[in-house]
Structure formats: structure tokens, C-alpha cells
């Protein structure tokens, strides 16, 4: 009974993982790297890999995390820039429309 509940909980967590990764990709990558490093630690403790290999794995993990963070920052900047352009375009369209309406109103008022 307890084992079935644990399995069901693991399945539910696995289903929620993609959503959580989409919401917070940096945290998802940190969790993934943490699991990998725990596996490498076990291999080190068992004597399967050397200390130098474990240290190299740490360097690689840090680089991957840094790359993910940098890519996310670039993505956020591009989204913010696109939002700025969209806002400016909306303002220009509104202003152009207002100028056109005022011009049309003046022409109508003057009877031309």
C-alpha cells in the first residue's frame, strides 16, 4: 500500500516536471544537474571514477548552468525589447489615427 502511494506520487511529480521546467527553466536545470552530480558522487565513492573526473564533472555542470542562465537572460531581453517595440507601434498607430480624426473633423467642420 505504501509502495503504491510512493509510485503514484513519483508519477504525478514526473507529469508536473515539464510544467515546472517551463515556468522556471533555471531551477529545472539546477535540479537536473544536482541529480547528475549525486550520481557522479556515488561513482566516485564506489571508485568507478577518479577525483579528477569528478572535479571535471563539476566544472562541466557549472558551465552548463552558466550557459542556461545566459540564454535565459538573452531571451528575457529580447522579449522586453519586442514588448517595447510593440508598445511604440501601438502609440504611433493611435497618434496617427488621432491626427487623421482631427484632420477629418476640421475638414468636416469647415465644410471642405
- HSE-up of residue 85 (Cα within 13 Å, Cβ side): 6
Exposed, middle or buried by CB within 10 Å (0-12, 13-18, 19+), for 32? middle
Cβ proximity of 54 and 44 under 8 Å: yes
In a domain, 74, yes or no: yes
pLDDT in tens, the chain (112 residues): 788 888 888 898 888 888 887 787 878 888 888 888 899 999 989 999 999 999 999 899 888 888 888 888 887 788 777 777 777 777 777 777 766 666 766 777 776 5
Q: What is the pLDDT of residue 42?
A: 93
In a domain, 94, yes or no: no
Q: What is the pLDDT of residue 48?
A: 93
Which structural domain range is residue 57 located in?
2-84
Q: What is the pLDDT of residue 65?
A: 84
In a domain, 103, yes or no: no
In a domain, 66, yes or no: yes
Q: What is the pLDDT of residue 76?
A: 79
Q: What is the pLDDT of residue 45?
A: 93
Model-level pTM? 0.50
Query: What's the total number of domains in the chain?
Result: 1
Amino acid at each position: 500500500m505504501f509502495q503504491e502511494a510512493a509510485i503514484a506520487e513519483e508519477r504525478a511529480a514526473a507529469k508536473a516536471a515539464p510544467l515546472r521546467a517551463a515556468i522556471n527553466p533555471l531551477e529545472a536545470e539546477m535540479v537536473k544537474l544536482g541529480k547528475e552530480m549525486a550520481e557522479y558522487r556515488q561513482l566516485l565513492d564506489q571508485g568507478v571514477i577518479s577525483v579528477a573526473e569528478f572535479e571535471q564533472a563539476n566544472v562541466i555542470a557549472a558551465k552548463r548552468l552558466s550557459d542556461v542562465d545566459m540564454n535565459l537572460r538573452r531571451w528575457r531581453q529580447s522579449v522586453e525589447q519586442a514588448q517595447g517595440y510593440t508598445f511604440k507601434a501601438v502609440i504611433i498607430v493611435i497618434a496617427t489615427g488621432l491626427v487623421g480624426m482631427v484632420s477629418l473633423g476640421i475638414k468636416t467642420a469647415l465644410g471642405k
